[in-house]
Amino acid sequence: MKATFSYTGIRVKNLEESIKFYTSVLGMKEQGRGSVAATGGENVSLVSEAGGQQLELNYYPKGTKYGTDYNVGENLDHLAFKIDDLDRALEQAAKLGHPKSLEMKSGESRWAYIKDPNGIYIELFS
């Protein structure tokens, strides 16, 4: 299985304030916005330079499953890896004790989450 580290997703308290910080203070550019019905959340992708590492800002409103109390410094949302064979990767992860915790599909895109030994969500997508 080949895995390529793709981007980092962090959880934010206020999406618009966070976008303003990363774009105004750090000069990042917004690449896209989306919402995910399965989590009730919204996300925005930012980059510093073309082809560079992406930063995904994730916001979950109160009342959603993932809209839990925010703890400063403890809100890494997930790490994302592009996988050449998603089904095989999920099967292998499950055999090693890391079963799929969530799977989603939108159009041609498909992604799933497992957890590392520390409980950090790892997104696998193809």
> Of 72, 61, 2, which is closest to residue 37 (Cα–Cα)?
61
Q: Which two tokens stand for residue 50?
A: 């073309």
Q: What is the pLDDT of residue 73?
A: 66
Q: What is the pLDDT of residue 57?
A: 93
Q: What is the pLDDT of residue 81?
A: 87
Quick one: CATH architecture of 3-125? Answer: Roll (3.10)
Q: Can you tell me the distance from the alpha carbon of 99 to that of 106, in angstroms, rounded to the nearest whole number?
A: 21
- Mapped onto helix, strand or coil, the DSSP state of residue 71 is coil
Q: Can you tell me the distance from the alpha carbon of 119 to that of 21, in angstroms, rounded to the nearest whole number?
A: 28
pLDDT along the chain (126 residues), means of 10: 87 92 86 92 91 90 88 78 91 92 90 85 89
Q: What is the pLDDT of residue 51?
A: 78
Q: What is the pLDDT of residue 102?
A: 92
DSSP-derived letter for residue 107 is T
Q: How many CB atoms are located within 10 Å of the residue 55 CB? A: 19
Q: Which two tokens stand for residue 34?
A: 């989306």
Q: Which two tokens stand for residue 72?
A: 């400063």
Q: What is the pLDDT of residue 120?
A: 80
Q: What is the pLDDT of residue 111?
A: 94
